[in-house]
Structure 1
């Protein structure tokens, strides 16, 4: 339709230089080139046990490989999507379309309350658990739906289609948008069910104008990823839902907004047990991580909920004014709209339209 604003999607340029994670030393770094990296991090790495030239070169190689992966990520994602669309045959087609029967009755009651004109944070808290520091939990999916999704994810893992890593820290999981979960399942979940809740719980963080998301599964298993280092998300609000399976350990810990990574085990942290079907909501910029899995296998669905009205002014990853870049195949939730297809100086404040 003529007259409608054309929306363009962007990433911040810091995606290619910031927040590289070195798992063996539990360190996030900035990488521009070898000289800068050596000058900024050699001493820090030595203090963390990276003491030989061979160890340092291994770290450099790891970082350079990740930098290369990021540079090629957009085209690689587009290539995977084309392959998946052509070759992948779902096992449970029904999980790709959201239905109320997939949602826990208590969650439906919570959403119904959030949509009333008289809803308040206090009225929502009668239907969910507050864990402190603006962290909330509630039953979201039914056990049957979780089982179907787990079987679908297992089917995806065993398919011949190429799969991308969920993010820079998790090696095992599925990028759900690439396999077609967005349109019928995740977008309606965000728009119709989560947004009325987050509008009340997180107004400062754009909870009432979440206009995009990134969703993926993460799997922790014996012999693979067992834990996850302390970090913050590329999100305004994060939803973390446990899908199952049988496991012990692996609690989610959440810290105050500005806590240092080294205080991850402090008494200020919130410890969240995982229960299949239950979701945890927290602010994306709260530092958090996963304690070590003791036994079994655990799979979670993560949604990074994003508000362009917030992130267009302040990138959550470099914490500065975003330097926006258009990269085909990549979308980190930044939005700029204009009437002629050109980048405008003013970003659209989606909250204004709510």
Structure 2
């Protein structure tokens, strides 16, 4: 098995604080105040006490990230030993979980004559630039999966946060979904699609992922701020439940001129059982739900071939830090050995 790593920027960059709706970089207090002092005053963080409280919150998040690998391993072991699934069958992918239209799409993508144009023609109109929607799961699987998530949420098992932006949800690797469900879904069904749609973004070499479920409820998270993902390709599947509003919106690509300008965003109303696939660095967000609750399955798919050259979060050659599990999808590239010299 491959050994995966994280980039050292994971411990200093892109630390989201919802109160100020900002992703912060933090190296030390001096750098932080120089970089963010003005905007923080504009947002009401205008006293030493408020600044100190914010810095403490950021430092706590950094410490959480440093211990994330071991904490994930600890939680996973406890869950495997003590948790009893309500719907054990959903942990292992079966073809009858998948929508017939999705299976037909995958079979088409596997044909030798299949091209990007032929896939796009089958998918129909783009939601935004190179953003596509298609059914993935059956309604029955989605309902069973949601019931399993609710059962876990209501248990006394330890739970990790999906990321700094989503406070509510489930890390699927900790619950034991990777080997039986997510990995075969990525390798056997999604990669034929991404190979044709996103070869320039590592779609033909996706070799790891981070998968999690996020929940939106009136008394919890309502929306998702404008951001990009730590992924080459993202699949966002609406599992369902009754909810109003909460449309997704897409803007520009990270790195384009004025990427945070939301003036011309394309909006998409997510359909239960459907997945929305897009490039990870496509800026996007979710508008607030007005009623009900929504469950989304997010799969950040990663290509070590691509990200080993440039970290998508700091835009530099990654400085690798060992971790447990899939990390952030970086690998150490093997150095070429001069056989003649070694013999």
Q: Separation in 1 of the partners of 2:195 and 2:289?
A: 33
Task: Indicate whether 1:273 and 2:269 are aligned.
Answer: yes
Q: Which residue of 2 aligns with 1:302?
A: 298
Q: Separation in 1 of the partners of 2:286 and 2:259?
A: 13
Q: CA deviation at 1:160?
A: 1.4
Unpaired stretches in structure 1, ≥5 consecutive residues: 1-5, 339-343, 347-354
Q: Which residue of 2 aligns with 1:322?
A: 318
Q: Which residue of 2 aligns with 1:69?
A: 64
Change (3 A) 1:102 1:332: same
Per-residue deviation, residues 85-121 of structure 1 (Å, max 9, x unmatched): 1111111111111111111111111001000011112
Q: CA deviation at 1:299?
A: 0.8
Q: Secondary structure at the match of 1:287?
A: strand
Q: Which residue of 2 aligns with 1:176?
A: 172
Q: Separation in 2 of the partners of 1:95 and 1:143?
A: 13
Q: CA deviation at 1:259?
A: 5.8
Aligned counterparts, 1:1-354, within 5 A: 7-129=2-124, 130-257=126-253, 258=256, 260=258, 262-264=260-262, 266-267=263-264, 269-329=265-325, 331-336=327-332, 338=334, 344=335
CA contact (8 A) 2:6 2:322 kept: yes
Change (3 A) 1:40 1:185: same
Q: CA deviation at 1:60?
A: 1.4
Q: Secondary structure at the match of 2:84?
A: coil
Unpaired stretches in structure 2, ≥5 consecutive residues: 338-343
Q: Separation in 2 of the partners of 1:261 and 1:293?
A: 25
CA contact (8 A) 1:114 1:196 kept: yes
The number of residues matched between the two structures is: 334
Q: Separation in 2 of the partners of 1:246 and 1:260?
A: 36
Q: Separation in 2 of the partners of 1:56 and 1:223?
A: 27
CA contact (8 A) 2:208 2:326 kept: no
293-302 or 39-48, which deviates more: 39-48
Q: Separation in 1 of the partners of 2:336 and 2:111?
A: 37
Per-residue deviation, residues 293-315 of structure 1 (Å, max 9, x unmatched): 11111110000000000000010
Q: Separation in 2 of the partners of 1:221 and 1:57?
A: 31
Q: Separation in 2 of the partners of 1:215 and 1:137?
A: 19
Q: Secondary structure at the match of 2:278?
A: strand
Q: Separation in 2 of the partners of 1:345 and 1:263?
A: 44
CA contact (8 A) 2:7 2:318 kept: yes
Q: Separation in 1 of the partners of 2:24 and 2:110?
A: 42
Runs of 4+ in 1 over 3 A off after TM superposition: 259-262
CA contact (8 A) 2:252 2:259 kept: no
- Aligned-pair RMSD on alpha carbons? 1.6
Per-residue deviation, residues 180-210 of structure 1 (Å, max 9, x unmatched): 1111111010001000000000011110110
CA contact (8 A) 2:128 2:250 kept: no
106-115 or 31-40, which deviates more: 31-40
95-104 or 35-44, which deviates more: 35-44
Q: Which residue of 2 aligns with 1:352?
A: none
Q: Separation in 1 of the partners of 2:300 and 2:24?
A: 22
CA contact (8 A) 1:7 1:336 kept: no
